[in-house]
Structure 1
Amino acid sequence: MVSPKPNPVPAPATAPAIDPNSGFCSETRTYHSLRPNISLPPEMTPLSVVDYLFSHLHSSPPPPSTPALVDAATHRCILYPDFTQRVRTLASSIQTRLGISTGDAAFVLSPNSLHIPILYYSLLSLGVVVSPANPASTTAEISRLIQLCKPIVAFATTESAEKLPSLRYGTVLLDSDEFESMMTTTEVGEFGRVEVNQSDTATILYSSGTTGLVKGVELTHRNWISVLAGAFAVRRARTSPAVGLCAVPFFHVYGFGYCVRTIGLGDTLVTMGKGRFDLNRMLRTIEELRVTQVALAPPAVAAVVNRAISRDGYGLSSLEAIACGGAPLPRSIIVQLRTLLPNVQLLQGYGLTESTGRVFAAVGLKESRVEGSTGKLVSNFIAKIVDPENGAAIGLPPLTPGELWLKGPFVMKGYVGDKEATAAVVDSEGWLKTGDLCYIDNEGYLFIVDRLKELIKYKGYQVAPAELEHLLQSHPDVIDAAVVPYPDEEAGQLPMAFVVKRPGSVAHESLIMDFIKEKVAPYKRIRKLRFIDAIPRNAQGKVLRRDLIKLASSSPPTSKL
């Protein structure tokens, strides 16, 4: 195994111009990370992300009796020595049986299972581009993804394989005896070592298609190495390996990163397997396996809060932290969760598929307690807040909202096969334009205001739906809420709210609209409101606003102009 030889990345100048609290530099108008800079391997050194991870496992190995993987449903364990052997054997099988080589792409269509981390590590070690997708996707959606990543082979379950077209090397079924054999039967012949450059594409993941055509995001081995180096740097010493339960999909950048990082750290990764999220099963797993951290999407965190009575009878004393990402978490949920689990850290973060996951993160108890924040800028990154109206790239000072731009080693290689789309979000200097309206406070914490594309234009004023949603969710009769634009000839667009009431509530539309009226400027008032049973959201918890906009036009809601 090649051991990386780190070279220190020059730390940003500690000139007086950089505010030691916010990280804002008044000269460059940019925000610098206040966390220690991280050493990365020399950029030109051939090194795959798996070689990088295995070098860390080799230098700091977990006890041989430590499970690398555990299936929550069956409690089947794969210990670290068995995991590393299966990775190498599968890589050899893929190389000799299938003839796949560096630069080829493999499409993965499967729910979470013990097989997926082994498959990811094996493919990445060979320099094969890994492109996982949601197994719930339709045949038409999968066809679009296949066109983007151009795979020569697919790995799928028996259930999902029927959606796949014919590929050059076919489809390998992950739930077959053949795949088990590929992981456990050593192939005849010598395993051929491959050279993988850090600049090579490691993964093609897919950005959300809720605001346009889905795009394939190319992330390099260097991108992933940089992310993982950051994880190693902030990891605190433990007396025993952590046990992380991942209840988010491994095909999403959040789940993919959690999957490879947990094993690279020498901790135990618990998979929930296929099927719908089951809160009681998750709580039972936390108790039985002494889980220390859970990775959840916002809907799952809301389920913990809204069905708090289900916690009765479960021992959650081992739980140290809940990691949450993929979409903003409502303030009301955060407050209730801290009441229910006061000793558990809520670790929120901000990131995109295009930034290889989180670039702002809460580390430690103090940062996790800052209400509404998604943490501080990670090491080796700079950021700026830009006025989205005047088009100038001049950074704005603390507490001033604007579009968040990011620059650092996590930024994607680009959108596969789409130079025009890439140029629209990554400028010539390497700044990634996030499309998110945010501000950074005087302590360096990031606060998200809204998506720029989702701002409501009311009589020339910009109204952020997220701000109104936050206020609505603070009302005692409101469980959930979403705000969308409603077309109006005079005003252009009106803020319209969809609200889920608490069971038994007798609150009427005008009462809730008046509640908001007292808290905002006149142009921000909610002008229309409708009660519904549930806010439509995707698997990551993001509001499906297009569905609500269609619903808004179907029948007239209550109005109050």
Structure 2
Amino acid sequence: MILTGMIVAALVAVYVLTALWQGYRLGVTFQQAVLYLPLKLVFRISDGRIRIARQADAPVIYAISHQSRLDPALMLALLPDDTLHILDEESATSSWLEPFRTLARTISFNASHVFVSRRLVRHLKGKGRLAVYFPQTVEPDPKSFRLFRAVARIAVTAGADIVAIHVGGSRHLPMSLAPEAEAPRRWLPKLTIAALEPISLDSSIVRPGRAPTTSSNALFDRVAEARVAASVPRSLFAAVSGAARLYGPERTVVEDGLTGPLSYRDMLIAARVLGARFASVSSGGEAVGLMLPNSVGLVTSFVGLQSAGCVATMINYTAGPANVTAAIRSGAVRIVVSSRAFVDKAQLADIVAAIEGAGARFLWLEDVRPSVTAFEKASAALLWRWPVTPVKPSAPGAILFTSGSDSRPKGVVLTHENLLSNTAQIEARIVFTPADTLLNVLPAFHSYGLTGGTILPLVYGVRLYLYPSPLHFKQIPETAAKVKPTITFATDTFLSAYARTADDGDFASLRLVVAGAEPLQAETRRIWRERFGADIVEGYGLTEASPVVALNTRTHSRQGSVGRLLPGIRSRIEPVDGIEDGGRLWISGPNVMRGYISTRGAENVTPPPDGWHDTGDVVAFDREGYLTIRGRARRFAKIAGEMVSLGAVELLVQRLWPEERHAAVAVPDRKRGEKVVVLTTNTAAEKSELRAFGKASGVAELIVPDTIITVDAIPLLGSGKVDYVTARRIAMESLGIDKTT
């Protein structure tokens, strides 16, 4: 008995001393530390940033994303004990939370407490602290969003700062507030508490580096930023491997029409086998080319390159031999992973010759498969959770080349952190769940197809169906009818083409259609809404931003805009001569590239100056922060000293002839410096009709082009964007203008 008593006393002493240490470390009371310590040990909580919240000067509102029933317990144990917590009715009465509720004042959440706000304003003006728990969904409905408006009004009236807090990982606890179909449960996930610096909503509305917005939107954005900040930095392989553990190794994650479905475990086993082979023929951190269509083979090869610690260099096999040669040389690529069957079917003999001529050799997947030994398979089956060569999140993960729609493609180096930050930013705006199936037709050599169409579903447990080419306008609707996807990403050009060949029921399963890479035409939006019952969400991005910068969502959407900036992205507008309504957009954020390849290889880059990237786009923000693209800075013509947006010209022509495709380019003109030429597929196009429509629309006379050229098809890049370099060449040849002009 004496020995037992001594052991118990020793354990109690250790517990008390540890609690005292935790109290000193975090600045909490002894009672708080005693109750917090078991949670700290069980969930291995990363809590270093909670000091930011505790040290915030009153008056302050803690804006907490309420993911699980555990969140109030953590906040009661960690926030200053003079904080008034507004709890939901279950948390306010739950018996297991009773010890935690003794740590601070609490009131039960209901409409009268939240929306009749004078009591809360008085509390804050008296140098008080308030903890408010916001809905866990990233797309709150209008009723739920009322809470953001109410709290924003209280904060502005009381002059209170906002500290946004998010408990990363609690969404997957057994006591999660999210439906289990959307958030698979784990008993002991590691939790990370993210707390952002205090900021007033008045300054948030016009704070440097952000677009102007309303106070409620500023509060909503701050909560979303905390969600992104809770993401733990990791490599691409670690993110996919972690998703396998979270969503289940046997869960089907990727599928195509030839290979069939593959589970996380099987995909990672195949990636481990390939990763070992890739590592044996390359050096650490080397850029290795990947030239494959959308397929299971592409995914296993990409993840295999990440396992090997290689930098996946995505080869745009539609860019032509000259551009591919330049890509191989600038990336210092010695090895290109590809498939003979694909090369033969796609008739890429000239691309193969260009790659070999640039000094690279091919590693054919057909040669790897039969040579895999039983030992390699067994080893991969045991070690599939771990990479062959671990890398840091800050290391280069992929090299992509810009579309080259109006200039020569540039090599963009994106780190693991860049790519995963962008997936987290997107996931903080749009709901993705394991119940979704994503149909991806966009090639992985395009950043939209790689991040949104490949990496994001792998990381968030979305079932991914890959289709090899976006140009199969008839087969893709038929595939959608069989696969029944809930999400798809595409460009306006492709969406318009699919609608022309699809039956009304082919896309009936879709709940989310995201359009990017080029402006979404009103006619495309109308057709998809009327025929398929699908509202298209338009976004904006660029390769250098991994790629998504702004996005419309169910909660925040404005037709004609590309939405609001994603969480964590800062912006500034620089004036452009001749343009009053808008300016040149610069951006900064965790998703902005490491830099352009400047000499040879992924380690030799030209980084953005001070982390700021010049997008080259002329844009405007409205008072609520919605972004409208006026056009590329290069996509303006200077006519008699006046700046004319070629994008605005295209929109005018598209409104007149919505069933056809058009492209506006600028060519030299002796009298006025430049003139605008429209290429159109409308064989009946008449200048007089366009002139009359422009006058009736009230646009400036300069906007209406006086030269129209009819073509069989508008030249496109492999990504679906208009190839303006080729379009301009066609216009100049048609008009007999010297190409050197």
So what's the TM-score if we normalise by structure 1?
0.84
Structure 1 position 16, deviation (Å): 0.8
Partner SS, residue 429 of structure 1? helix
User: What's the counterpart of residue 412 of structure 2?
Assistant: 217
Select between 294-303 and 251-260 the one with higher mean Cα deviation.
294-303
Structure 1 position 466, deviation (Å): 0.8
User: What's the counterpart of residue 60 of structure 2?
Assistant: none
Q: 1:385 aligns with which of 561, 568, 573?
A: 573
Structure 1 position 432, deviation (Å): 0.9
Flag the 1:117–1:529 CA change in 2: closer, same or farther, 3 A: same
Structure 1 position 75, deviation (Å): 6.5
Flag the 1:507–1:128 CA change in 2: closer, same or farther, 3 A: closer
2-side partners of 1:78 and 1:494: how far apart? 54
The alignment-based identity, stated in percent, is: 23
> Quick check: 2:523–2:658 contact (8 Å CA) kept in 1?
no
User: What's the counterpart of residue 238 of structure 2?
Assistant: 51
Structure 1 position 383, deviation (Å): 1.2
Counterparts of residues 493-512 of structure 1 (less than 5 Å): 493-501=674-682, 508-512=686-690
* Alignment-mate amino acid for residue 322 of structure 1: V
Question: Per chain length, whose mean CA-contact separation is higher, i.e. which structure has more relative contact order (CA < 8 Å, sep 6+)?
Answer: 1
Measured against aligned partners, the alpha-carbon deviations of 1:471-512 in whole angstroms (never above 9, x if no partner) come to 11111576222222232222111222223327xxx5532112
1-side partners of 2:605 and 2:275: how far apart? 37
Where structure 2 has 5 or more consecutive residues not aligned to the other structure, the ranges are 1-43, 45-188, 737-741
Flag the 1:541–1:47 CA change in 2: closer, same or farther, 3 A: closer
> Quick check: 2:285–2:310 contact (8 Å CA) kept in 1?
yes
* Alignment-mate amino acid for residue 200 of structure 1: A
> Quick check: 1:6–1:39 contact (8 Å CA) kept in 2?
no
2-side partners of 1:363 and 1:551: how far apart? 38
1:84 equivalent in alignment to 2:276: no
2-side partners of 1:52 and 1:556: how far apart? 53
Counterparts of residues 288-367 of structure 1 (less than 5 Å): 288-307=482-501, 310-312=502-504, 314-342=505-533, 344-364=534-554, 366-367=555-556
Count of aligned residue pairs for this structure pair: 525
Structure 1 position 279, deviation (Å): 2.8
- Highest CA radius of gyration, 1 or 2? 2
1-side partners of 2:704 and 2:286: how far apart? 53
2-side partners of 1:250 and 1:145: how far apart? 16
Structure 1 position 213, deviation (Å): 3.1
Counterparts of residues 181-192 of structure 1 (less than 5 Å): 181=372, 185-186=377-378
User: What's the counterpart of residue 372 of structure 1?
Assistant: 560
Flag the 1:87–1:460 CA change in 2: closer, same or farther, 3 A: same
> Quick check: 1:513–1:529 contact (8 Å CA) kept in 2?
no
1-side partners of 2:605 and 2:283: how far apart? 32
1-side partners of 2:323 and 2:735: how far apart? 33
Select between 470-479 and 317-326 the one with higher mean Cα deviation.
470-479
* Alignment-mate amino acid for residue 553 of structure 1: M
2-side partners of 1:345 and 1:18: how far apart? 31
2-side partners of 1:452 and 1:167: how far apart? 33
Flag the 1:385–1:423 CA change in 2: closer, same or farther, 3 A: farther
User: What's the counterpart of residue 204 of structure 2?
Assistant: 18
Measured against aligned partners, the alpha-carbon deviations of 1:371-415 in whole angstroms (never above 9, x if no partner) come to 22212111111112221239xxxxx9xx94111111110111111
Structure 1 position 177, deviation (Å): 5.6
> Quick check: 1:361–1:375 contact (8 Å CA) kept in 2?
yes
Compute the RMSD of aligned alpha carbons.
Answer: 3.5
User: What's the counterpart of residue 69 of structure 1?
Assistant: 254
Flag the 1:168–1:536 CA change in 2: closer, same or farther, 3 A: closer
Counterparts of residues 524-543 of structure 1 (less than 5 Å): 524-543=703-722
Structure 1 position 270, deviation (Å): 0.7
Flag the 1:492–1:323 CA change in 2: closer, same or farther, 3 A: same
Q: Which runs of 4+ in 1 moved over 4 A?
A: 2-7, 27-34, 39-43, 166-170, 187-193, 422-427
Counterparts of residues 59-458 of structure 1 (less than 5 Å): 60-62=246-248, 64=250, 66-72=251-257, 74=258, 76-95=260-279, 98-158=280-340, 159=343, 160=348, 162-163=352-353, 164-165=355-356, 170-176=361-367, 178=369, 181=372, 185-186=377-378, 194-236=389-431, 238=433, 241-257=435-451, 258-273=453-468, 277-307=471-501, 310-312=502-504, 314-342=505-533, 344-364=534-554, 366-368=555-557, 370-389=558-577, 400-417=581-598, 428-458=609-639
2-side partners of 1:12 and 1:326: how far apart? 36
So what's the TM-score if we normalise by structure 2?
0.64
1-side partners of 2:429 and 2:647: how far apart? 31
User: What's the counterpart of residue 514 of structure 1?
Assistant: 692
